[in-house]
Chains A and B, each alone.
Chain A
Amino acid sequence: MAAIARPRGSGRRESPPIWRWVILVLAGVYFLIPLIAAFRFSGIKAFGSVVSQSGFTAALGLSARLAVITTVITIVLMLPTAVYVHLRLPRLRRLLEGITILPIVIPPVVLIVGVLQIAPGFVKSTPYLLALEYVVLAMPFAYRSIDAGLRALDLKTITEAASSLGASWTSTLLRVILPNLSTALLSATVLTVALVLGEFTMASLDLYQTFPVWIYVNSQSSGQVSVAASLLSLIVTWLVLMAITVIGTQRSRKRGGGSVTLFTVARTETAGGE
């Protein structure tokens, strides 16, 4: 049976009740006041001097390198696995969901204790051990983004079409599935990067000065600059995420799909899907 696209939210008759606005205004106040306070505390000048602080470049550089490595490993590991499970082992999907949610429920502070216990010395002496573990921490977000993207595709039909045209498994993955998943991969990437740039627990306990650790250490000498750096990191992430959802939604609308949010790429309803 074909799933029928339903116009959502269009059949509402009542006007929005008061309580909705009360809740949204309260939430707005709670979330905006700290931003205003931080801005007033740091002052405009502090924003300029963030960049010139000692250690800023090194810390941001390390965080950026970790972000790149983590993202590459995450995509290379999770994308083929998710596609394979969707196509060949659909009954394992729930198990995979269960496993990939584990890093959310296991405290990172406990995980790093175990990791430092078993990691061989040559891995422990580089900061890139952190990247290997960030892949684990990013799994819940990355897997869910990719999974949402895959469910929005009619994966079976397009892979069968590709293979009947003589495409190999690798070229199907790279030239057919990958382009169709660009929005999902983009959101997986952003979530992973945001996670790496903000991760403090493991980095500080592994004694490496990544960007968040630097903000913390630097705060002892200059509180204003640290608050400014905190605000900056928040604003930059927000702009990037905003851009992605807006662009993603536009592109998906062009192809007749729904709006794109971070975890759910609204599925394009196809006849006979699922």
Chain B
Amino acid sequence: MDQTVAASGAPGSFADPGALGSGAAAAPGPPAKLTVPGVLRWLRRMAGIVPFGAYVTLGLLLPMVAVAVGAFQSNSGGFTLGNVRAATHGVYLHGFEQTIILSVITSILPGIFGLLIAYSIFTAKRGTILRQVAVTASGVFANFGGVPLAFLFIATLGSSGLATQWLTDLGFNPYNHGFSLYSLAGVIVVYMYFQIPLMVLVILPALEGLRPAWREAAQNLGARTWDYWRFVGGPVLLPSFLGCVLLLFGSGLSAYATAEALTTGTIPITAIQIGSFLNGNVIAGQENIGKALGLGMVVIIAVAMVLYVALQRRSAKWLR
């Protein structure tokens, strides 16, 4: 019956950041008739989500408001645009550029690889060892950012790492060709290690929405593999795929621990720069620039989400 709903999928999956935009519209407003008992009944129904609402407000919304307000505050507390101006010039502008390059590469490449891997796992028979190992491995690796990951890669691709030695034995020492684990290129390689499994994890529910019956129906109607993907599989998957890539973008943008542990904070990306304000590595009296940088990151995410919604509308039109 409502197969399309099931397919576009897995409501509640990560593949659906669009929920943010459409969610507010779906919220039940106050009752149509503004009578006192009506309002009271509405308030009673809402009471059940008050603890959650209060927690989110205190733990998430208020801190974010504090960051936004602080970005426009001078040290004496007055209004200023100085922090924002500083955050969009010089090293900090460079930081934003590097961060965006890093996030775009580490969302699109793992997005594609992750989809292919997920599809390989998905088409393997249910309940096989391969599937269970792959899914749990994805769960572990996706959460395996940070310090331990950095150490794993120092042992692998550091200047005396195992893979580096193998490559040198083969006559190709990556360190002689401009590669360094402690540069942006190195950080990209390392980020793949948790971004690809994250993609596998979040795209699988969407793949589960592709019913074998559709493929069979398409084949019975004479569709070749390409036709199936162009007119059935692709259109069903594309919105979820874009949503997942957006999620990876956000994850790459906010990753801090891995880059910090790998480069001991020397790489010029925004998350590291914000951290250095809290570490006290910056001249006193400039703390609010850190908040302006934080605001900048939130703005980047917001822009990415707007792009996502626009792209999704476009693709809906194109695929029709």
Q: Which A residues lie at the B interface, using CB under 8 A?
A: 1, 3, 6, 8-9, 11-12, 16, 20, 23-24, 27, 30-31, 33-38, 40-42, 77-78, 80-81, 84-85, 88-89, 91-99, 101-118, 132-133, 135-136, 140, 144, 147-148, 151, 191, 194-195, 198-201, 204-205, 212-213, 215-216, 219, 223, 226-227, 229-231, 233-234, 237-238, 241-242, 245-246, 249, 259, 261-264
Contacts and interface: CB of A to CB of B under 8 A. Distances in A.
B298 to A, nearest CB: 7
A104 B278 CA distance: 21
Given A117-B70, A241-B136, A262-B139, A227 B19 contact: no
Given A8-B212, A20-B123, A23-B117, A101 B147 contact: no
B159 interface: no
B143 to A, nearest CB: 5
B275 interface: yes
B66 A118 contact: yes
B201 A262 contact: yes
A84 B53 CA distance: 13
Interface stretch (B23-31, B75-83, B170-178, B312-320): B23-31
Contacts of A219: 147, 151
A229 B66 CA distance: 37
A1 B3 CA distance: 12
A3 B2 CA distance: 10
A24 B116 CA distance: 9
B161 A113 contact: no
Interface of B: 1, 10-14, 16-17, 19-24, 26-28, 45-46, 48-49, 51-52, 55-56, 59-60, 62-67, 70, 113, 116-117, 120-121, 123-127, 130, 132-133, 135-137, 139-141, 143-149, 151-156, 161-163, 192-193, 196, 201, 204-205, 208, 211-213, 216, 247, 250-251, 253-254, 256-257, 260-261, 271, 274-275, 277-279, 290-291, 294, 297-298, 301, 305
